[in-house]
Amino acid sequence: MKRYPVFLHFLIALFLANCGLSEAAEKHHAIAMHGEPKYPPRFQHFDYVNPDAPIGGTLRLSAIGSFDSLNPFLLKGVSPRGLGDVYQSLLERSRDEPFTLYANIAKTIEVAEDRSWIVFHLNPKARFSNGSPITAQDVLFSFEILRESGRPNVQSYYQKVTAVDIQSPLSIRFAFEEDGRFEMPLIIGLMSVLPASESLKTDFEKSSLTPLIGSGPYLVEKVEPGRRIIYRRNENFWGWELPQNKGRFNFDRIIYDYFRDDDVALEAFKSHRVDARFENSATKWTSAYGWQSGVEYRQSTPKLSLPAPMLAFVFNTRHEKFSDLRVRQALTHAFDFEWVNANILHGLYKRTHSYFENSPLAAKGTITKAERELLSPFTDELLSSVFDKSFRLPVTDGSGRARDNLKEAQGLLLAAGYRIKNGVLTHQQSGQPFEIEFLINNTDYIKLISPFQRNLELLGIRSNIRQIDTASYQNRLTDYDFDIIINSWGQSLSPGNEQAFYWSQKAATTPGTRNYPGIRLAAVDAMIERIATAGDRDTLVTATRALDRVLLAGYYVIPLYYTDEQWLAHWPEIKLPPTPSYWGTGPDLWWHEKNS
Q: What is the pLDDT of residues 388-441, one digit of tens each?
A: 989 999 999 887 778 899 999 999 999 999 999 999 999 999 999 999 999 999
pLDDT of 477 > 90? The answer is yes
Residue 173 belongs to some domain of the structure: no
* 537 within a domain of the structure (yes/no): yes
587 and 518 in a single domain? The answer is no
Rounded to two decimals, the pTM is 0.86
80 in a domain, yes or no? no
Residues 477 and 437 occupy one common structural domain: yes
Residue 273 and residue 382 share a domain = no
The CA distance from 556 to 323, in Å, is 9
Q: 3-class SS at 457? A: helix
pLDDT at residue 543 above 90? yes
Residue 593 located in a structural domain:
yes
**Phi, psi (rounded to 5 degrees) for 114:** -95, 10
Tell me which amino acid residue 370 is.
A
- Mean pLDDT of the 479-489 span: 97
Q: Considering only 227-231, 385-389, 434-438, which range has the smallest mean pLDDT?
A: 385-389
Residues 574 and 558 in one domain: no
Judged against a pLDDT cut of 70, whether residue 9 lies above it is answered with no
Whether residue 440 lies inside any domain: the answer is yes
- Residues 535 and 586 occupy one common structural domain: no
The reply to whether 532 falls in a domain is yes
Shared domain check, 322 and 277: no
**Do residues 519 and 381 both lie within one domain?**
yes
Domain for residue 152, yes or no? Answer: no
The predicted structure's pLDDT at residue 556:
98
Residue 247 lies in a domain: no
DSSP state of 376: G
Structure confidence at residue 153 as a pLDDT band (50, 70, 90): confident
* Whether 410 and 470 share a structural domain: yes
- Containing domain of residue 282, as a range? 261-297+569-596
pLDDT at 444: 86
Q: Where residue 2 falls among pLDDT bands split at 50, 70, 90?
A: very low
Average pLDDT for residues 358-382, to the nearest whole number? 96
Q: What angle do CA 15, 19, 24 make, to 5 degrees?
A: 70
Same domain, 275 and 353: no
- Is the pLDDT at 18 greater than 70, yes or no? no
pLDDT at 214 over 50: yes
* 384 and 489 fall within a common domain: yes
Do 577 and 548 share a structural domain? no
Residue 147: CA atoms inside 13 Å, Cβ hemisphere, count?
Answer: 17
Asked if 397 and 382 touch (Cβ cutoff 8 Å), the reply is: no
Q: Tens digits of per-residue pLDDT, 134-151?
A: 999 999 999 999 999 998
| Whether the predicted pLDDT of 314 surpasses 50 | yes
Kindly report the CATH number assigned to the domain that includes residue 500: 3.10.105.10
Average pLDDT value over all residues in the chain: 92
Instruction: Based on the fold, state whether residues 441 and 540 are members of the same structural domain.
Output: yes
Lowest-pLDDT choice from 14-28, 333-347, 390-404: 14-28
Work out how many domains the chain is built from and give that number: 2
Residue 181 pLDDT > 70: yes
Least confident of 91-95, 179-183, 536-540: 179-183
pLDDT at site 12:
44
- Closest by CA position to 416, among listed 330, 333, 482, 332: 330
Q: Average the pLDDT over 232-247 and give the result.
A: 98
